[in-house]
Amino acid sequence: MSTTSHTTPVAPGAPMPHRKIIRSWVIPISQRSTAIALLLSAIDFCLFGLGLTAIIWTPWILAKIALGVVTGFVIGRLFILGHDACHQSFTPNRRLNTWLGRLLFMPSLTPYSLWAVGHNVVHHGYTNLKGFDFVWLPRTLEEFQALPRWRRQLERIYRSGVGPGLYYLIDMWWKRMYFPSKKQMPTRRAEFIWDGVLVTAMAVVWVAGMAWAADATGQSFWTLFITGFLIPIMFWKSMMGFVVYVHHTHTEVAWYQDKTSWAAAQPFVSTTVHLTFGRWWGSLLHNIMEHTAHHVDMSVPLYRLKQAQKKLETMLPGRIVIQRFSWRWYFDTARRCKLYDFDRLCWTDFRGRQTSQPLELPPTATAPESAS
């Protein structure tokens, strides 16, 4: 490829450039700043503390519930910062990133080391590859029909559009991050245990704080437990389940069952969705929806993602899935994306009926082979 082609937009019919070339477009944007990272962390921790304080002191139950939701959203913001730290993209200092990540993950009760393995290694290393990436992995019709009846019902709830929080709570957090079984995590490390102990201690201190506040202010413990702990945690889990779902579930996004076709599809670009919102929502979510740039180069800090995403969309016109968010689109996607036909590369409903246009295999791909 000529030097000119490295710096000018890639024509729609031209071959996709090598990942190193694509990354070279965003590397100049990837400068990390300790000052920005610490400022963002301080702001969100203050918002978290203010949210809990407001829940305790407001006398109105509806206000407590609303503040519980807002606090859950702030937990999501803290998690996004921790997610960057876990990728070593938050500050230039690796040790600071590690300890900031653990601290930022605590309000969401996320064990740092287990998240790092499941997300950084598995999800980013093998995005949308069956047998490796497990995040919102769609089942085939045959796999779905082989499930016990109760599990088929659970799958229907997960993919109904209203079940992402339940999915994240059970299939992601409980099974894979909170003291996972040997079946779920065959590798056993001391840090896995200690990170589980750390978030458990966080939960105990949090609930004990609500109990102390209830006694000190003459309120019901259960009122503060529900509005000051349970609602924030459950809203956060719903928020996280939703975000991960829309990042990689779209009728124009494929899942693959063999490494050859998966690699040829340039998955770091083709298996992610750039979901766009109104003017402020992207910033409120710390730009985490600029997701293609994040998968192209995990070292791009969140406070540079918007610039990186714009650069990629300029250089790769028509290659990136860009979706304007609406609830109509979201629930239509949930209606259509139930199961997956890995041979035809299309989504189906729970009866196996095609609900999306089959996608073409990449030109260099061979016939599918099992990747597991």
Q: How far is CA 305 from CA 86, 125, 146, 288, 349, in A?
A: 16, 20, 42, 8, 35
| Range 302-308 average pLDDT | 91
Higher per-residue pLDDT: 278 or 106: 106
Mean per-residue pLDDT of the chain: 90
Is residue 299's pLDDT more than 60?
Answer: yes
Is residue 225's pLDDT more than 90?
Answer: yes
Is 268 within 8 Å of 105 (Cβ atoms)? no
How far apart are the C-alpha atoms of 67 and 199, rounded to whole Å? 23
Beta pairing class for 346-348 and 339-341: antiparallel
- Residue 184 binned pLDDT confidence (cut-offs 50, 70, 90): confident
Give the per-residue pLDDT at 340. Answer: 96
| Range 102-116 average pLDDT | 95
**H/E stretch holding 165:** helix 164-167
- SS3 of 256, please? strand
Beta pairing class for 273-276 and 321-324: parallel
- Residue 19 binned pLDDT confidence (cut-offs 50, 70, 90): confident
What residues have CB less than 8 Å from 160, skipping those under 6 apart? 334
Higher per-residue pLDDT: 205 or 270: 205
| Range 264-284 average pLDDT | 84
- SS3 of 93, please? coil
- SS3 of 362, please? coil
How far apart are the C-alpha atoms of 78 and 226, rounded to whole Å? 21
Q: Does some domain include residue 153?
A: yes
pLDDT, tens only, 322-368? 999 999 999 999 999 999 999 999 999 999 999 999 987 766 544 44
Is residue 47's pLDDT more than 80?
Answer: yes
Q: Does some domain include residue 42?
A: yes
DSSP annotation of 251 reads: T
Give the per-residue pLDDT at 362. Answer: 64
- Residue 281 binned pLDDT confidence (cut-offs 50, 70, 90): confident
Give the per-residue pLDDT at 11. Answer: 80
Is residue 301's pLDDT more than 60?
Answer: yes
> Domain span at residue 287?
15-327
- Residue 2 binned pLDDT confidence (cut-offs 50, 70, 90): very low
Angle at 73 between CA 69 and CA 78, to 5 degrees: 140
Give the per-residue pLDDT at 335. Answer: 96
90 phi, psi to nearest 5 deg: -80, -50
Q: What percent of the chain has pLDDT over 70?
A: 95
Number of domains present in the structure of the chain: 1
Q: Does some domain include residue 104?
A: yes
- Residue 42 binned pLDDT confidence (cut-offs 50, 70, 90): very high
Q: Does some domain include residue 287?
A: yes
Q: Does some domain include residue 265?
A: yes
Is residue 118's pLDDT more than 80?
Answer: yes
Angle at 77 between CA 268 and CA 88, to 5 degrees: 50
Q: Does some domain include residue 364?
A: no
How far apart are the C-alpha atoms of 348 and 339, rounded to whole Å? 5
Q: Does some domain include residue 349?
A: no
Is residue 1's pLDDT more than 60?
Answer: no
Q: Does some domain include residue 284?
A: yes
